[in-house]
């Protein structure tokens, strides 16, 4: 859409994600206009008008698709709806951003990617935690080879305590709910950016400990093994009263450890994402293996606003898209392979789910 001065955006669903996250960021992104909000609830439509007086409101998805002035659809809807809604929007000549997780299975992902190719429209996934301060710091530590030439072991944890406050997220993994897909979509994406080597096998155990929500996972442990011999452990938990480090990476020279969660979401919910500041007490450390010396690594500032600013630059000025949906297919495959492994209690060859053998560079 190069040549246009702005992009009209319709937000689909106006719950927590639609209102507190996507609308907050979109309203602060030059070139993107909150043109409309779709919500089945009259109360939420009224809230959207209070928050954004100039926006239109839609009761149905069909109304959004039939409006020629909608250029970009942002899916803040439940994961189980992403595939159908994305495909329909793309076929209606709309660009699409889906919240994470992109979808439930590789087969759904392939339907979405095919629709994007056929339509020639943008399909991107809201992987905002690529711009977490801790993750940016991890990438800097690795780029500077502070841990050595190769990182042999990577442990990433995303943990909370208790069920989600969003009712639909407390159904089942099969329906696209639960911590594995909710938190795991971020954790797997970060892992796949840290280590882009081909994956050989996946092994996982998924626990379900909530009697009030028997289909919801309480803790998932995923072992990701790479063809070069390195290993990653992902720990996704809703029963962690005292969370472990978010990142624990070891190489032949040193180990990096980082506690705490990026502060941007709390600042955004409070009304101003730009006010986010991490406590210096949560800074990561690099521990030297030989000397045992501990070096404090200040956390780089995170900036979730980069995601939608890049979407605007891509659509208005032809900039390279930072998170094309094609990148996310590997994430979806890791999560699907983990579920398959846990179901059958066996190691799963990654190519069995991913569908291709990754090239070893």
Average per-residue pLDDT in the chain? 94
Note whether 7-126 and 129-302+334-354 share their fold.
no
Predicted local distance difference test score (pLDDT) of residue 39: 98
CATH class of segment(s) 129-302+334-354: alpha beta
- What is the phi-psi region of residue 93: left when phi exceeds 0, alpha when psi lies from -120 to 50, beta otherwise? left
- Among 134-138, 141-145, 179-183, 309-313, the minimum mean pLDDT is found in 179-183
pLDDT at 360 > cutoff 50: no
Nearest 5°: the CA angle 189, 303, 11 is 75
Distances from the Cα of 143 to the Cαs of 56, 66, 224, in angstroms? 46, 47, 22
- Among 42-56, 159-173, 174-188, 255-269, the minimum mean pLDDT is found in 159-173
What is the tens place of the pLDDT at every residue in 62-100?
Answer: 999 999 999 999 999 999 999 999 999 999 999 999 999
pLDDT at 1 > cutoff 70: no
DSSP states of 85-116 as a string?
HHHHHHHTT-EEEEESS--SSHHHHHHHHHHH
The residue-averaged pLDDT of 287-315 equals 98
pLDDT at 361 > cutoff 70: no
Burial of residue 302 (CB within 10 Å: 0-12, 13-18, 19+) is buried
Domain covering 7-126 assigned CATH 3.40.50.720 in the classification: yes
pLDDT at 285 > cutoff 60: yes
* 221/211: higher pLDDT: 221
What is the tens place of the pLDDT at every residue in 328-355?
Answer: 999 999 999 999 999 999 999 999 999 9
Element containing residue 36 per DSSP (H, E): strand 32-38
Cis preceding linkage at 101, omega within 30: yes
The residue-averaged pLDDT of 183-191 equals 97
Taking the domains of the chain in order of start, what are their residue ranges? Answer: 7-126, 129-302+334-354
Q: How far apart are CA 64 and CA 13, in angstroms?
A: 12
The residue-averaged pLDDT of 195-223 equals 92
Question: What's this model's pTM, rounded to 2 decimal places?
Answer: 0.95
Asked if residue 204 lies in contact with residue 224, where contact means CB atoms within 8 angstroms, the answer is: no
């Amino acid at each position: 859409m190069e040549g246009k001065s702005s992009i009209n955006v319709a937000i689909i669903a106006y719950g927590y994600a639609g209102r507190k996250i996507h609308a907050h960021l979109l309203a602060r992104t030059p070139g993107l206009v909150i043109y409309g909000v779709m919500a089945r609830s009259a109360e939420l439509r009224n809230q959207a008008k209070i928050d954004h007086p100039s926006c239109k409101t839609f009761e149905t998805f069909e109304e959004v698709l039939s409006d020629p002035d909608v250029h970009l659809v942002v899916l803040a809807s439940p994961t189980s709806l992403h595939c159908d809604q994305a495909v329909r929007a793309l076929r209606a000549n709309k660009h699409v951003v889906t919240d994470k997780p992109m979808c439930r299975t590789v087969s759904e992902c392939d339907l979405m990617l095919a629709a994007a190719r056929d339509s020639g429209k943008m399909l991107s996934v809201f992987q905002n935690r690529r711009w977490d301060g801790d993750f940016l710091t991890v990438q800097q530590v690795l780029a500077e080879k502070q841990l050595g030439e190769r990182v042999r072991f990577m442990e990433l944890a995303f943990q909370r305590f208790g069920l989600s406050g969003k009712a639909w997220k407390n159904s089942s993994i099969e329906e696209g709910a639960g911590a594995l897909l909710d938190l795991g979509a971020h954790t797997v994406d970060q892992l796949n950016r840290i280590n882009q080597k081909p994956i050989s096998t996946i092994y996982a155990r998924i626990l379900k400990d909530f009697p009030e929500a028997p289909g919801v996972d309480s803790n998932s442990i995923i072992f990701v093994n790479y063809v070069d011999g390195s290993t990653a452990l992902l720990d996704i938990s809703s029963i962690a009263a005292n969370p472990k480090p978010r990142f624990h990476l070891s190489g032949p020279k040193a180990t990096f450890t980082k506690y705490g969660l990026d502060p941007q979401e709390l600042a955004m919910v409070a009304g101003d994402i730009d006010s986010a500041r991490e406590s210096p007490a949560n800074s990561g450390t690099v521990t030297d293996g030989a000397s045992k010396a501990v070096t404090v690594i200040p956390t780089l500032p995170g900036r979730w606003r980069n995601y939608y600013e890049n979407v605007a630059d891509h659509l208005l000025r032809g900039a390279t898209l930072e998170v094309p949906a094609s990148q996310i297919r590997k994430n979806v495959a890791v999560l699907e392979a983990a579920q398959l492994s846990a179901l059958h209690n066996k190691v799963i060859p990654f190519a069995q789910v991913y569908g291709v053998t990754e090239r070893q560079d």
